[in-house]
Amino acid sequence: MTDKARPNVFLTGGAGVGKSFLIRQFQKGVDHREFPILASTGAAAVLVGGRTFHSFFGLGILEGGPGATVERASRNRQVVRRLRQVKGLIIDEVSMLAGPVLHVAEVLARRIRESDLPWGGMQIVTVGDFAQLPPVERDPNRGGGWAFMNPVWKWSSFDRQLLETQVRCQDPEFMSILGKIRRGVVDAEVREYLDARTGPVEIEFEGTRLFPRRDQTERFNEQRLNDLAGEAVLIPTVASGNAKAIESLRKQAPIPDVLKLKVDALVMLRQNDPLGRWVNGSTGHVRRIQANKLSIELLNGRWIDIEKGTFSMLDGEGEPIATLSNFPVNLAWASTIHKAQGATMDRLAVDLSRLWEPGQAYVALSRLTSGSELRIARWESSSIRVDSDVMDFLS
């Protein structure tokens, strides 16, 4: 197959349509050295077991601007070898990747691969939903902006593949409401649905509360753990690798430095089970704590035993430079909306007031498998927003 015969692809669709599942299936049939997976952020890379986009292309923080970044990276022998070796790339959570960053990488790829084809002839598979969380920097004048607004998006000629079949949620009424919220629509139907589920959430609510900020999350989890009888069991996370990389991984991995547990604590699984017994976001109560095993009763009634797992940070070569090992769980009475992206939850309470980012409300609500398990502390129509440029793009 020639370079021209392999179209670039943009795989998209709303939350819960199986984008991540499809990526995992695709990866099973390719050589990871020839078709690696990259993620837009360090946290996303840890969850998918991939590298960050910046590290693979050797971009750093784009110090000195686009031109200086291309010059610097093109002199990096490892970057040159990587870009000449691969046949293509999967770029996950592309919505959180700023357009200028995508542009610099494309210019670099053409230069190193000595080809005038988009991306130097590599096949690029981008995955994501621009109606969810945006890039950290959205101001184009400061090196930000949506990826699809940069000329590199049109130049890449992505073949858009839209997934529409909902696999996470099988509640038709809730799916209809989510579809409107994804588009920023707050009509009478949406108001009635949200109002019917709004009210004080009792402290004993046994589900996950989503907060916009991390300090709110940590305080609430600590409070609920203290309310349980008995002494907490402290399980330190074991780290190995480069000291600087370990420090960075600790900020990005979904597990704490020290896991504090008690029997009956509500926890969230943070890795998908290869056998399908649970997914990232499944919640349940710890029923037994052993040195190398946790027994958990999931909220769906299933009992599971889990062992310790690892979360790794990979360098540009795809080699681990830092690893954290512990039980792949965290306390689940509360989580931030950002940390919940990509997770599937069984029971949820959320405060939808004073949200500030487009897509935040949609990301929070779309974690659920059914609207019957939704509780809303407060909500404001101003929190349900979508970027006007995103709406134009989706249309």
Write out the DSSP string of 53-107: HHHHHT-TT-TT-HHHHHHHHHT-HHHHHHHHH-SEEEEESGGGS-HHHHHHHHH
* Residue 381 pLDDT exceeds 50: yes
What average pLDDT does this structure show over 176-189?
93
Mean of the per-residue pLDDT values of the chain: 89
37-39 vs 88-92, strand pairing mode? parallel
Give residue 139's pLDDT.
Answer: 59
Give residue 27's pLDDT.
Answer: 78
Burial pattern 114-125, b for ≥16 Cβ within 10 A else e, equals: eeeebbbbbbbb
Residue whose token pair is 């890449």: 156
pTM: 0.80
- Terminal CA-CA length for the chain: 33
Instruction: In whole angstroms, give the CA distance from residue 72 to residue 62.
Output: 10
What average pLDDT does this structure show over 224-253?
93
DSSP 328: S
User: Shortest CA distance to 135 belongs to which of 54, 15, 67, 71?
Assistant: 54
What average pLDDT does this structure show over 256-261?
95
* Residue 322 pLDDT exceeds 60: yes
* pLDDT single digits (tens) 92-148: 989 989 999 999 999 999 999 999 999 999 999 999 999 887 886 655 655 568 999
* Residue 388 pLDDT exceeds 70: yes
Structure tokens belonging to residue 235? 């399980």
Rg (CA), the chain: 21
What average pLDDT does this structure show over 275-299?
92
Sign of CA dihedral 293, 267, 92, 324: negative
* Structural domains of the chain, ranges and CATH numbers in brackets: 3-162 (3.40.50.300), 172-383 (no CATH)
- Mapped onto helix, strand or coil, the DSSP state of residue 334 is strand
- Between the CA of residue 287 and those of 91, 232, 258, 264, 265, what are the distances in Å? 39, 13, 19, 6, 8
Q: Where residue 3 falls among pLDDT bands split at 50, 70, 90?
A: very low
Q: Where residue 356 falls among pLDDT bands split at 50, 70, 90?
A: confident
What average pLDDT does this structure show over 218-227?
94
* Residue 91 pLDDT exceeds 90: yes
Contact 393, 146 (CB under 8 A): yes
Residue with the bigger pLDDT between 52 and 169: it is 52
Q: State the Cα torsion 141-13-193-171 to the nearest 10°.
A: -160
Q: Which distant-in-sequence residues (6+ apart) come within 8 Å of 29 by Cβ? A: none
What average pLDDT does this structure show over 168-185?
90
Structure tokens belonging to residue 109? 């790829």
**% of the chain residues with pLDDT over 90:** 57
